[in-house]
Amino acid sequence: MTAITPTRRRELRAKAHHLHPVVIVGHHGLTAAVLKEIDVNLLAHELIKIRVFSEDRAQRDVMLESICTELDAAAVQHIGRLLVLWRPAPAKVEVPAPTARARSKDRCAKSATGRKANTMAKSTPQARRPRSPLARTTARGSAPRAPSSKTRQPSVQAARRRRQGT
């Protein structure tokens, strides 16, 4: 079981405050499948919340201890039916990048049938087609409608009458 300092525990509790439970332990208890899910989520997130549907606090304490010992995690908090666990992320293994020559050989590799080997078809995203400068049509494909009579411009004669005050 990983040990953490009280200051680190306080920091982790503050980070876990906004998290939602990612694993729920039901009435069947701590099964192998539940442990696997907890392990997968600890690998992905480092800090997780677990909701336990058990009425007995002592049973939840035992569950927390067994999870921590089996998965080498640290118990951050046990409040109500929520358990907060933390496990540091494993060190990433650096894979050396392939050289330009090796990449060109991979692209030109052919299988026994003479076809190219399975490679990604689209390694870069395609560019979008530029928008047409023409006005769009309606959903049914007809041309845009003319403005209704309510928005029509007043006639020249009506404008003259208004200017003269008649």
Q: Which domains are seen in the chain, by residue range?
A: 6-86 (3.30.110.60)
Q: Is the pLDDT of residue 114 over 60?
A: no
Q: What is the pLDDT of residues 53-110, one digit of tens each?
A: 999 999 999 999 999 999 999 999 999 999 999 999 888 777 776 666 666 565 555 5
Q: Which of 79, 99, 69, 82 is nearest to 23 (CA)?
A: 82
Question: pLDDT grade, residue 157 (50/70/90)?
Answer: confident
Share of the chain above pLDDT 90, in %: 49
Mean confidence (pLDDT) of the chain: 80
Q: Which amino acid is at 127?
A: A
Q: Which amino acid is at 146?
A: A
The CA distances from residue 27 to 56, 63, 75, 77, 139, in Å, are 12, 13, 22, 21, 53
Q: Which amino acid is at 50?
A: I
Question: What is the rounded CA–CA span in Å between residue 126 and residue 157?
Answer: 57
Question: pLDDT grade, residue 43 (50/70/90)?
Answer: very high
